């Protein structure tokens, strides 16, 4: 059982896409996987402080493997609070998947193994420029195949709109 968690209301559509992708992947592998979604509501208490007053779909976290999906890792504050909330709600394992890892120095302390079992980032930003070496629980996923496919679509067909119909693993 999986639960996809959006760390804020603005990422709910992204979370829905992850649910759909996980369901499609499971179906293509002839595996039955139950995937649910939760959305964390956050409230800013200051420039770098947030609180989590409630979670919609929080019942789908207890005893499950959770993946928090975010677009940008900056200070790590939102991801950290989301991870802590998932732990408090009884998640079995907590992973973080983020597209762009800007990762300030502060983020490294917040995204440690006491909150996250795994952190998945892409190399959309140069990984070498990160302020700390990646620990073993971090994984970098290359965007090169997607960019190559986008270039091919532009050169051959003049549009990248076909990429929207494709799923990871089919590129």
- For 10-31, how does the pLDDT look when each residue is reduced to its tens digit (9 = 90+)? 999 999 999 998 898 888 888 8
Specify the higher pLDDT residue, 48 or 138.
Answer: 138
The tens digit of pLDDT for each residue in 113-156 reads 789 999 999 999 887 766 666 677 888 899 999 899 999 989 98
Fold of 2-143: Rossmann fold (3.40.50)
Specify the higher pLDDT residue, 76 or 168.
Answer: 76
Domain ranges of the chain: 2-143
Spatial contact of 131 and 103, defined as CB atoms under 8 Å apart: yes
Catalytic residues, by residue number, are: 42
The alpha carbon of 65 is separated from its chain's Cα centroid by a whole number of angstroms, namely: 13
Tally of helices (H runs) and strands (E runs) in the chain: 4, 7
Q: Please, which pLDDT band fits residue 99 given cuts at 50, 70 and 90?
A: very high
Residue with tokens 């089919």: 170
Is the pLDDT assigned to residue 48 strictly greater than 80?
A: no
pLDDT at res. 133: 63
DSSP secondary structure string, 40-87? EEEEESSSS-EEEEEEETGGGTTTSEEEEEEEEESSSHHHHHHHHHHH
Q: Percentage of the chain surpassing pLDDT 90?
A: 46
Is the pLDDT assigned to residue 171 strictly greater than 50?
A: no
Residue-averaged pLDDT of the chain: 86
Q: Please, which pLDDT band fits residue 103 given cuts at 50, 70 and 90?
A: confident
Cβ neighbors of 53 (< 8 A, separation 6 or more) are 41, 43
Spatial contact of 57 and 4, defined as CB atoms under 8 Å apart: no
């Amino acid at each position: 059982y999986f639960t996809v968690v959006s760390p804020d209301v603005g990422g709910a559509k992204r979370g829905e896409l992850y649910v759909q992708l996980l369901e499609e992947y499971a179906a293509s592998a002839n595996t039955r996987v139950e995937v649910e979604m939760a959305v964390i509501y956050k409230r800013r208490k200051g420039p770098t402080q947030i609180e989590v007053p409630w979670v919609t779909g929080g019942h789908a976290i207890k005893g499950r493997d959770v993946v928090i999906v975010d677009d940008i890792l900056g200070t790590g504050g939102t991801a950290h609070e989301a991870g802590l909330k998932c732990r408090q709600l009884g998640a079995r394992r907590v992973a973080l998947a983020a597209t762009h890892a800007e990762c300030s120095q502060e983020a490294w302390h917040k995204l440690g193994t006491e909150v996250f079992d795994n952190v998945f980032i892409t190399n959309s930003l140069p990984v070498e420029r990160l302020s700390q070496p990646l620990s073993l629980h971090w994984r970098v996923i290359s965007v090169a195949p997607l960019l190559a496919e986008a270039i091919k679509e532009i050169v051959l067909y003049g549009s990248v709109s076909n990429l929207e119909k494709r799923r990871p693993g089919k590129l």
